Amino acid sequence: MKKLTALLMAGAMLCTMSACAKKEDDLLATIKDRGEIIVAMEGTWAPWTYHDENDQLVGYDTEVATLIAEKLGVKATFVEGEWDGLLAGLDAGRYDIMVNGVDITEDRLEKYDFSTPYAYNKTAVIVKSDNTEITSMEDLDGKQTANTISSTYAEVAESYGATVTGVDDLNQTIELLLSGRIDATLNAEVTYYDYMKAHPDAEIKIATLDKDATQVAIPMRKGEESANLLKAINEALAELEAEGKLTELSEKYFGTDISKAE
């Protein structure tokens, strides 16, 4: 009898351990048990994610992530940091997802699973108002630019032959540009217009636009762990698009609908 009891207890323990292992391998289940999804973002990149005059974290990405969390039945907990550390934190498991205007690239697809796109970006080359040397992407060859090092914009600049200086945020980049320490910077077209709304006298302009729009999506760790979460986020995004929420938020923050490909 004692032996049978011991065997039953051992079996129960094995079942429990197996269930726990399955739950640990399912990020969505972990998130639902926790009651929150941990979202990484910069908090300094208007109008995507930034602090308003009351120091509240707002922006297109902030609201999209909040609505996704509601669809999942949990709350969104935001953790802010510099761009170059956000993907590293995602790799290390400190965050569940990153919602920060992340462009899909071939290199990133090798390392992360991405949601369906929820925005489309055109890359602008921004220069000083009196710059006449840069009028095309090809003119970046041999020029000095500045961007966060692991950003898509830095990769694009380097692909055209520019030398990239690493920076922390857009404000620092514009300071370098206006002081003449760099020739140009690359950023989202909508980010440029948002900056000009806040700084109408800034002596900068768009020299040229990249002809192809990039796809903005939500990265998460690649693998079976994220499979159910990826499916749930894609379903949430599809619902938000059908409800008109993505268009509404896009027009609120960008003044135009960037949630759809042209």
Task: List pLDDT tens digits, range 128-187.
Answer: 999 999 999 999 999 999 998 878 899 999 999 999 999 988 899 999 999 999 999 999
Q: Where are the domains of the chain?
A: 25-119+216-254, 123-212
| pLDDT at residue 216, rounded to an integer | 97
Eight-state DSSP code of residue 225: G
Q: For the residues 92-101, what does the mean pLDDT come to?
A: 98
Q: What CATH number does the domain located at 25-119+216-254 have?
A: 3.40.190.10
pLDDT tens sequence across 193-252:
989 988 999 999 999 998 889 999 999 999 999 999 999 999 999 999 999 999 999 999
| pLDDT at residue 212, rounded to an integer | 86
SS3 24: helix
Pull the structure tokens for residue 26. Answer: 């399912």
**Which of 111, 102, 105, 124 has the alpha carbon at shortest distance from 48?**
102
CA separation, residue 150 to residues 4, 63, 84, 156, 158 (Å): 59, 24, 6, 11, 11
- Which amino acid is located at 109 in the chain? L
How far apart, in Å, do the first and last CA atoms of the chain sit? 72
* pLDDT at residue 9 greater than cutoff 60: no
* pLDDT at residue 260 greater than cutoff 80: yes
| pLDDT at residue 24, rounded to an integer | 61
Kindly give, in sequence order, each residue whose CB lies less than 8 Å from that of residue 134, ignoring residues fewer than 6 positions away. Answer: 125, 127, 140, 143, 183, 184, 207, 208
123-212 and 25-119+216-254 share a CATH fold: yes
CATH of 123-212, picked from 3.90.550.10, 3.40.50.150, 3.40.190.10, 1.10.3720.10, is: 3.40.190.10
| pLDDT at residue 1, rounded to an integer | 44
| pLDDT at residue 3, rounded to an integer | 44
Q: What is the DSSP annotation of 114-150?
A: E----EEE-EEEEEETT--S--SGGGGTT-EEEE-TT
Q: Report percent pLDDT > 90 for the chain.
A: 80
Q: Which residues pair with 219 in a beta bridge?
A: 114
| pLDDT at residue 255, rounded to an integer | 87
* pLDDT at residue 21 greater than cutoff 90: no
pTM > 0.85: yes or no: no
CA separation, residue 158 to residues 127, 150, 193, 218 (Å): 16, 11, 24, 24
Pull the structure tokens for residue 252. Answer: 């609120």
- Please report which helix (H) or strand (E) contains residue 164, including its range: strand 163-166
User: 149-153 long-range contacts, Cβ below 8 Å, gap at least 24?
Assistant: 149/84, 150/83, 150/84, 150/87, 151/83, 152/103, 152/105, 152/123, 152/214, 153/123, 153/185, 153/186, 153/187
Mean pLDDT over the full length of the chain:
91
pLDDT tier for residue 23 given thresholds of 50, 70 and 90:
low
Place of tokens 């908090």: 43
| pLDDT at residue 51, rounded to an integer | 97
Eight-state DSSP code of residue 45: B
| pLDDT at residue 36, rounded to an integer | 99
Rounded distance between C-alpha atoms, residue 220 and residue 223, angstroms:
9
In terms of DSSP bridges, do strands 112-114 and 219-221 run parallel, antiparallel, or are they unpaired?
antiparallel
* pLDDT at residue 19 greater than cutoff 50: no
| pLDDT at residue 261, rounded to an integer | 85
| pLDDT at residue 18, rounded to an integer | 43
Instruction: Taking the CA atoms of 250, 255, 257 and 262 in sequence, report the sign of the dihedral they define.
Output: negative
